[in-house]
Every structure is written in C-alpha cells, then in structure tokens.
Chain A
Amino acid sequence: AQSVTQLGSHVSVSEGALVLLRCNYSSSVPPYLFWYVQYPNQGLQLLLKYTSAATLVKGINGFEAEFKKSETSFHLTKPSAHMSDAAEYFCAVTRAAGNKLTFGGGTRVLVKP
C-alpha cells in the first residue's frame, strides 16, 4: 500500500523568505507524485507533478519540487514567499496513471508580512 507523510501540519514563513514543505512517500513501484494547493473555500488545484521524467519539476506560481528516490522524498519549495501563497498544500502519490491518489495530511502555510 502507498502512503504519504507531510512533516509539519502548519508552517509559518515571512514574506520574501524560502518556503519548504516536506513530503515523504512509500510506494512499492516508481510513483507518480503530485502537489496540490487549496485556497480558502476552494477545491484543490494542481501545482506540479512528477511522472518519471526530469527529477526537478517546476510548477505554477514559482513553486518547484525535486524527486529524490534514495530519500523517498518530494519536497516543495519556493524561493520567496508571497502573501498570496497562504493556503493548504497537499502531497499525493499514485502508482500508475489513471489510478487513485493517496494524499498526505496537508500543510497549512501562513505568510507573515
């Protein structure tokens, strides 16, 4: 069975500072990995995805994530936080295209002025 662990349910960063959200996964086969963002009172939207191509994946709004097989990690980063980045972020894994996603518990990001 697949599982996803997000370290830290809440992260607080200052505007302009680095955003780092941690995600570790377990999967018996090479996975497909995703980061989704949920803004208040909205559904989830895709930030970026890894599907076995380049290990460094760039997404929307300046976010990127690096797939590290040896560490079973897929951490999300953004060099400079903006107030609009305040949201909840979810890491998710699936073992194959078209299969169901397993989500982590989420990390809520607070951006301080």
Chain B
Amino acid sequence: DADVTQTPRNRITKTGKRIMLECSQTKGHDRMYWYRQDPGLGLRLIYYSFDVKDINKGEISDGYSVSRQAQAKFSLSLESAIPNQTALYFCATGRRDSGELFFGEGSRLTVL
C-alpha cells in the first residue's frame, strides 16, 4: 500500500460544485502539504499544516480550504469549483527534522 494515499485519483465536475480531495498517510509524519501542478508553473503550495492544530496558507490559497482531521489526514476543499482550478493536485508529507517531502500519486481534477 502507498504511504501517502490520495482520493479520488481522477474527478470531473461542473462549475459551482463543491469538491473535496482527501489525503491520508501511514508515514507518521507531522507535516502535511497540498500542492497544485500546472504545466510550466511547477508545483505551487496551496495550504500546509505542521500539526493538527496548525494550518497555514500557501501562495495560492484563494478559493480553497483545508481540514486536518487527524495527524494522518489532510483534506482539501473547493467550495465552488471554477474552470481555472482544473489541475493536478498533490498531497505531500514531511518531518520537522528533514527537508524531504513524500508525495502521493496525485488527484487530477477537471472543472467544466
């Protein structure tokens, strides 16, 4: 089983719909991140959490919200999806004593 699991892997939705992407990890890491990947732009940070009670905005948080339900779970929500939120979304985890991040396989979201 993957250490960082994202669901769903693929989702097509319509403008205005609420969408939740879920991430769970078995690595025991305290830090979790949501990134968005767009061609030519690399990965951009949406939100991150250093522990269950700590949530921080990244560089592109507008239109998104997150919930850290437990150390192992970190969800990303789009309250009202719009077409320019069509992208590949990655969840990642890390430890406080290491710069390395461990990534899930991604959730591809298409907003029509």
Number of A interface residues in the complex (CB < 8 A)? 27
How many inter-chain contacts with C-beta < 8 Å in the A-B complex? 62
Q: Which chain A residue has the least Cβ–Cβ distance from B96?
A: A98
What is the size category of the interface that chain B forms with chain A? 20 to 34
CB-CB under 8 A from A99, the residues of chain B are 99
CB-CB under 8 A from A105, the residues of chain B are 40-42
CB-defined interface of A89-113 with B at 8 Å, one 1/0 digit per residue? 0100010111111111110000000
Known: A103-B43, A106-B40. A98 touches B97 (CB 8 A): yes
22 of the cross-chain contacts (CB-CB < 8 Å) are A4-B42, A6-B42, A32-B99, A43-B90, A43-B105, A44-B43, A44-B92, A44-B101, A49-B99, A51-B99, A90-B42, A90-B43, A97-B96, A97-B97, A100-B45, A100-B48, A100-B58, A101-B45, A102-B45, A103-B42, A103-B44, A105-B41
